[in-house]
Structure 1
Amino acid sequence: MTTEPGLRESKKQETRQLISDCATRLFLEQGFEQTTIAEIATAARVAKKTVTNYFPRKEDLALDHHERFTDGLALAVTGRAPGESPLTALERSIRTALADHSPVVGFTGPQFARMVADSPTLGARLRELHDLREDALASALADGVPDSAPAGAPRTAAALMAAADRLLFRRIQELTLAGRTDDEIEATLAPEADHVLASLTAALGDHPVAARP
């Protein structure tokens, strides 16, 4: 039988999703900056305090899956196959995300991409999330780092890996705003990704953190 705590948790998730869906619809219709928390609460038929309880920051209503985004690079490294280097795992993760047209690497669709591009607030928040993504990767790389590695080695490797990831993200957003379909973006990005990842490998090929098994 379903327990009462389970029912409460299910209800919370339903309410959270309802608020998120209503917010996304209003943001796309009106723009992020122009939409108020009060309007979102009215659309979701909840109190304003309920909205802010679930989403303390207005930006989190638009970038609802930010935890998945900030943890993505770190999880690619910590979940790598036995004997696989962090660099190889990251490259594989990026290529898979491109093939899957994953929102995590920038495949957000033209409406969403335009909404973010038109909002200084969301632009600033997205840059912050990229920084947090890099920080999480640096922490993951620091786990099990060789004793002989310089103290700043995890941070150096993370900065270069995250820069490559951020470059591809921005390129996908740029092509999305230019009206390209996801398939066209993937085809365009394939050789560009090859170049970026080859440059990353050249920079980190013998790095004591990124290249270790």
Structure 2
Amino acid sequence: MDGKPGLRELKKQRTRAAISDAAITLFLERGFNQVSVAQVAEAAEVSKRTLFAYFPTKEDLVVHRLADHETEAARVVRARPPRTAPLTALREHFLTGLRERDPITGLNDHPQVRRVHRMILDAPSLVARMEGFKTGAERALAEALQETAATPELTARLAAVQIVAVQWALAQDNAERLAYGEPASERYAGAVKDAEHAFALLENGLHHLTPGR
């Protein structure tokens, strides 16, 4: 075995991608609330039954693209180098995301990324799903802090809530500025400054996550 997916799995991946691409195209053209699941299935040339096998809800057609980010902070904490504080690892990861224009940081002005962001904000059901992602991120991060930093359960939960909230607030600030026309290249320095300030505030309030203090 070479670790590569078999033909059946490749076919499933292609079908999933085709459905998702068709959905995003229609949603951006007409609006999320104006497109039915049946229309997405027709555009992707699959049955509604097949569509629901890949995406149980209409919202999943959009938010599945962000699903990996739900446990991203937890993965960063678990994969951090030895003797590196969790908050330091998360700060460096966020700054790297800004530098690389990762859409999750809000600092990506590609037209489609901006349109998807606006579409999510305009659909209450998608906003609700994103709040669910936020809750999941908090839970996953709290577990990672308990397991890798010997952080007490309550402390881990409170820290995770603050860290995730800060990351989301920074991303929303960046995305809002870009939505009003500020280029990512011009926003970058300010985004870094804001991130440095935010993580400094977290570190001062969460000093128990920093080794040796």
Provide TM-score, normalisation by structure 2: 0.90
Residue aligned with 2:64, SS: coil
Q: Given the alignment of the two structures, is residue 176 of structure 1 paired with residue 178 of structure 2, yes or no?
A: yes
Partner of 2:28 in structure 1?
28
Q: 1:129 aligns with which of 133, 141, 149?
A: 133
Runs of 4+ in 1 over 6 A off after TM superposition: none
Distance in 1 (CA, whole Å) between partners of 2:187 and 2:44 is 35
SS of aligned partner of 1:57: coil
1:202: which partner in 2? 204
The CA RMSD over aligned residues, in Å, is 2.0
Task: Name the structure 2 match of 1:88.
Answer: 88
Aligned to 1:105: 105
1: CA distance, partners of 2:148 / 2:101 = 32
Q: Residue 140 of structure 1 corresponds to which residue in structure 2?
A: 144
For residue 76 of structure 1, report the CA deviation from its aligned partner.
0.8
- Which runs of 5 or more residues in structure 1 are unaligned? none
2: CA distance, partners of 1:31 / 1:182: 25
Query: Is 2:82 the counterpart of 1:78?
Result: no
Contact in 2 for aligned 1:70/1:129 (Cα 8 Å): yes
CA distance in 1, matches of 2:152, 2:69: 28
Cα shift at 1:68: 0.8
What is the match of residue 56 of structure 1? Answer: 56
- How far did 1:106 drift? 2.7
Deviates more, 1:187-196 or 1:81-90: 187-196
Partner amino acid, structure 2, of 1:35: V
Deviation at 1:110, TM superposition (A): 2.0
- Which residue is 2:161 aligned to? 159
- Is the CA contact 2:203–2:210 (under 8 Å) kept in the aligned structure 1? no
- Structure 1 distance, partners of 2:51, 2:186, is 38
1:8 — aligned with what?
8
Contact 1:60/1:66 (CA < 8 Å) preserved in 2?
Answer: no
Where 1:143 maps in the other structure, the secondary structure is: helix
Do the aligned residues in 2 keep the contact of 1:110 with 1:179 (CA within 8 Å)? no
Alpha-carbon distance in 2 for matches of 1:151, 1:189: 32
Whether the 8 Å CA contact 1:28–1:111 is kept in 2: the answer is yes
Q: Which consecutive unaligned segments of at least 5 residues does structure 2 have?
A: none
1: CA distance, partners of 2:159 / 2:38: 44
Judge which range, 23-32 or 122-131, deviates more: 122-131
* 1:198, distance to aligned residue in structure 2 (A): 1.2
Query: Aligned with 1:64: secondary structure?
Result: helix
Supply the distance in 2 between the matched residues of 1:176 and 1:133 (Cα, whole angstroms). 25
Question: Corresponding residue for 1:211?
Answer: 210
The number of residue pairs the alignment matches comes to 207
Q: Which moved more, 1:176-185 or 1:96-105?
A: 176-185
Deviation at 1:104, TM superposition (A): 2.2
Structure 2 distance, partners of 1:203, 1:84, is 18
Cα contact 2:146–2:153 (8 A) shared by 1? no
Aligned-partner Cα distance in 2 for 1:113–1:169: 11
Could you tell me how far apart the structure 1 residues matched to 2:194 and 2:116 are? 23
Tell me the secondary structure at the aligned position of residue 82 of structure 1.
coil
